[in-house]
Amino acid sequence: MIVGLGMTALGKVYDRTPADFAADAVRRAVADAGLQLADVDGLLTSSGVTGGISVDLQRDLGVADLRLLSHLQSYGATAATMVQVAALAVASGAASVVACVFADSPLRPGTSAGAAYGTRAGSPVGWWGLLGASGVVGTNPLYALAARRHMARFGTTTEQFGHIAVAQRGWAALNPDAQQRQPITLADHQSSRWIAEPLRLLDCCLVSNGGIAVIVTTAERAGGLPQPPVHVLGWAQSHPGHYLRRHPDFGLVTGAAMAGPAALGMAGVALTDVDVVQLYDCYTFTVLVTLEDYGFCGKGEGGPFVASGVLGPDGKLRLNTGGGQLSGYYLWGMTPVAEAIIQARGQGGERQADRHDIVLVSGNGGVLDHHATLVLGSAAGAS
């Protein structure tokens, strides 16, 4: 069960290292759980593009005699994977209280968000050098290729991507921790500048500094702690292994198609039982293709589905209720995991979903090449 959630200040927070953020997040999560650092006997860490986090975090925290210690990395799928590993450790008795933490600090004062994420395109030789010479700089063009493939095959439009951006900004307006809370319209989306056609500025996620940690422990221990426990009901991973390779499914099918049904099956629930959905949204297109792969609509029907009015605070699908990575904050896979915990606890304030017993969470890494799914539940959802 997840019994603790620790979130540092998020966004344009400077003069702190990723290790500082990580230690702060773990301490906050432990306090939130009503525990002491000495109770933690497992620690799983993950770092972003700036690195700076490793198993050395144990020394920074001053915790001794850990029974589980590891650094994990599957990019945006890592957060859900850490929760899976922690749950397995707790279930097996390998550890009893496991902290999972991600932190990063790519933003710098006076530097654009786009420049915060570096690229290997300047390499003089090798594959990355060839990509740079062709104009493929960073991940934006690669996701643009995936989106364009979907558009060519199914007739998906940039306006349909825009409906996702507008809906999530609507949720962010209700989230006091969101970086972007000013409402936007479809016209605003369509007039935002191109980043890598067909992706516009408002199709792309934010860049944020900060750290988030969660605490996983046993059901027996959770019963005496102050926070409503969040049950880890199901999980699954899928890693297609087609990164930067020609493949007939690129941009059409992702690892979500395998991981989603598997996690739901493990949890013993159907898609129709899901109350809240927190999807990894590095781009609007990622949301659209994941909705298809999870089965919320048919393959190729994602565009009309998201444009139908189903999203946003007034829609029936409670999707990315904190604003997601597009408008809330970007802490890789911890963004959807954290909001899922908040919703399952019933602590979302103005953005809280009325029904929140079953929460479906996705993590995406690489260029649609790594996927992890969690199914979380409130006490009612687990019964």
DSSP for 203-246, please give it. Answer: GB----BEEEEEEEE-HHHHTTSSSPPBEEEEEEEE----TTS-
Q: Give CA separation, 300 vs 168, 296, 297, in Å.
A: 21, 11, 8
Instruction: Report, as an integer, the average pLDDT of 260-277.
Output: 98
Q: Of 186, 217, 248, which residue is a domain's last?
A: 217
The DSSP 8-state label assigned to residue 6 in this structure reads E
* 29-46 residues labelled b (16+ CB within 10 A) or e (exposed): bbebbebeeebbbbbbbb
The answer as to whether 52 is a domain residue is: yes
Identified catalytic residue from 75, 143, 280, 329 = 280
Let me know whether 19 and 142 are in one domain.
no
Let me know whether 366 and 242 are in one domain.
yes
Let me know whether 142 and 100 are in one domain.
no
Let me know whether 288 and 175 are in one domain.
yes
pLDDT of residue 131: 65
- Confidence at 133, pLDDT banded by 50, 70, 90: low
Sheet-wide strand order for 97-104:
2-7, 210-217, 97-104, 42-47, 68-71
Let me know whether 36 and 143 are in one domain.
no
Let me know if 330 is a catalytic residue: yes
| The total number of structural domains that make up the chain | 2
The answer as to whether 118 is a domain residue is: no
Phi, psi of 243 (to 5 degrees): -60, 125
Token pair, residue 241, equals 């292994």
**Residue percentage of the chain with pLDDT more than 90:** 86
Identified catalytic residue from 143, 283, 329, 330 = 330
Q: Which domain holds residue 347?
A: 138-205+230-378
Phi, psi of 9 (to 5 degrees): -60, 140
The answer as to whether 168 is a domain residue is: yes
The answer as to whether 349 is a domain residue is: yes
The answer as to whether 303 is a domain residue is: yes
- DSSP E strands in 111-209: the ranges are 194-196, 199-200
pLDDT of 218 higher than 80:
yes
The answer as to whether 222 is a domain residue is: no
Let me know whether 99 and 162 are in one domain.
no
Q: Of 159, 190, 217, which residue is a domain's last?
A: 217
One-letter amino acid at 93 equals G
| Cα–Cα dist 231/346, whole Å | 13
pLDDT of 128 higher than 70:
no
Let me know whether 89 and 164 are in one domain.
no
**Residue percentage of the chain with pLDDT more than 70:** 93
- DSSP E strands in 87-126: the ranges are 97-104
First CA to last CA distance, the chain: 14
CATH code assigned at 20: 3.40.47.10
Token pair, residue 184, equals 């936007």
Let me know whether 249 and 103 are in one domain.
no
Let me know whether 22 and 166 are in one domain.
no
The answer as to whether 224 is a domain residue is: no
Q: Of 164, 195, 217, which residue is a domain's last?
A: 217
Let me know whether 60 and 180 are in one domain.
no
The answer as to whether 347 is a domain residue is: yes
pLDDT of residue 248: 81
Let me know whether 170 and 244 are in one domain.
yes
- Confidence at 158, pLDDT banded by 50, 70, 90: very high
Let me know whether 213 and 250 are in one domain.
no
pLDDT of residue 242: 77
List, for residues 297-355, the tens digit of each pLDDT value: 999 999 999 999 999 999 999 999 999 999 999 999 999 999 999 999 999 999 999 99
